[in-house]
Amino acid sequence: MEYRITAELSLPAGSAELDGLQQQGAAALLAEWLDRVATVEGPDGVEITPYDHELDTHPSGAVIELLVDAPALSFAENGAEALLYEILERTELLADWKVGKCEVTVSDAELAEALESHDGSETAPASGVVGVPPEEIAAQHRRLLGLAPQLRAFDADSFGPSTDVDDARLLAAGALIDRAVALTDELFMDVTTLEDDAHSLDEDDTSWTADDSDELFVLHDLPVRYRHHYDVMFAKKFLLSSAAVYARLTRPGWARPTSTAEALALYVLVENAKDILVSLAGLDAGDVNTMFSAFDDAAQAHHDHEWLYLEDLDAIDPDDSAADPLGFLARNAHSWFDPYPDSVDTAPHPYLIDEG
């Protein structure tokens, strides 16, 4: 989930104010480090990812606006504060500066609306999520409900019967749309990271894989056993397959996944949607799993992708067809893009056809 954070940096007590030249120098030092930052581990061991920043220096310090990705509001704030302190410590000339306010920015109107919606009635969002205040949960509900109509391929009944939490099925629909956008962006970044990492070390990107890059998003959520197969071409193929599946969610008349890769893309999307419904929207994990179990029955035609996540595959003889009925152990992950034999659309996109 993306958060906009405003942080204030200040000079040590008793310091003289910065003149114009000193302000420019401080801005240059801060910008250099902010431009270099990738994923950061916060105090709780939770990773946050800064995407963008704006920086404004003044005689008494600086104000920084950060756009970060984090699993919850509190993690975003704590992680951003830890990041800024680390930058100051690594910048000798700014080592004595202090981090003041560092918090997610919400307008007065947004806060008033969130508090008004949290009135204790049955339809008010849950407030029992550790570290997430009621107003943040209320804001997440409004946001996801606003996205729900874009899921045109399924109706509310696809998520099973209504639960005790009002609009929970619509929240689930909105979460799928929200995560589809986020995962597409993250896959673009994964492709770029693989290419840049290989180029920076003068490596052939056909042999550089997710095993060699530490800071990846979606590719590191795919089955770990096959990580050495996730090269640049795989990432591009998976981006295309994922985009095709996610686009079908916004059109009436659902077409089920036509390959293992498409089924896997939908599975990753569902797992991400579950996470934000529990961690940000305050829904009960059991209710969320029940809803998506019903959705899975309606959305998936095959479940071979689940086999890829099994942890006890080392004991399986890859030559034993009975133990490995799908033949995955003998296959390269690039074969996941082959259409299912029973698929109506058996012609792969030209980009998915291996050269040679």
| Exposure letters 238-261 (e unless 16+ CB within 10 A, then b) | bbbbbbbbbebbeeeeeebbbbbb
Pull the structure tokens for residue 88.
């100051």
pLDDT digits (tens, 9 = 90+) for 213-263: 888 889 998 988 889 999 999 999 999 999 999 999 999 999 999 988 999
pTM over 0.85: no
CA atoms within 13 A on the CB side of 38: 10
State which fold the 2-104 domain adopts. Alpha-Beta Plaits (3.30.70)
DSSP 8-state secondary structure symbol assigned to residue 349 = -
Write the burial class of residue 169 (CB in 10 Å: 0-12 exposed, 13-18 middle, 19+ buried).
buried
* Residue ranges per structural domain of the chain: 2-104, 134-352
**Please, what's the largest Cα pairwise distance for the chain?**
77
* CA pair distance 169, 136, nearest whole angstrom: 19
CA-derived radius of gyration, the chain: 23
* CA pair distance 93, 15, nearest whole angstrom: 13
Percent helix / strand / coil, the chain, rounded to 5:
50, 10, 35
pLDDT for the residue 191: 93
**Residue in the structure block whose two tokens are 């799908």:** 326
Q: Which residues of the chain fall below pLDDT 70?
A: 1-2, 38-46, 72-74, 105-132, 163-166, 311-331, 344-356
SS3 9: strand
Pull the structure tokens for residue 150.
């874009």
pLDDT for the residue 122: 36
Pairing of strands 40-41, 2-10: unpaired
pLDDT for the residue 162: 76
- 147 close to 112: Cβ distance less than 8 angstroms: no
pLDDT for the residue 128: 43
* CA pair distance 287, 168, nearest whole angstrom: 9
pLDDT for the residue 218: 92
pLDDT for the residue 355: 47
Q: Provide the strand spans (E) within 11-60.
A: 40-41, 47-58
pLDDT digits (tens, 9 = 90+) for 336-352: 888 887 776 656 555 55
Pull the structure tokens for residue 316.
């399986």
**Residue in the structure block whose two tokens are 């309606």:** 298
Q: How many residues does the chain have?
A: 356
* CA pair distance 153, 295, nearest whole angstrom: 11
- 177 close to 250: Cβ distance less than 8 angstroms: yes
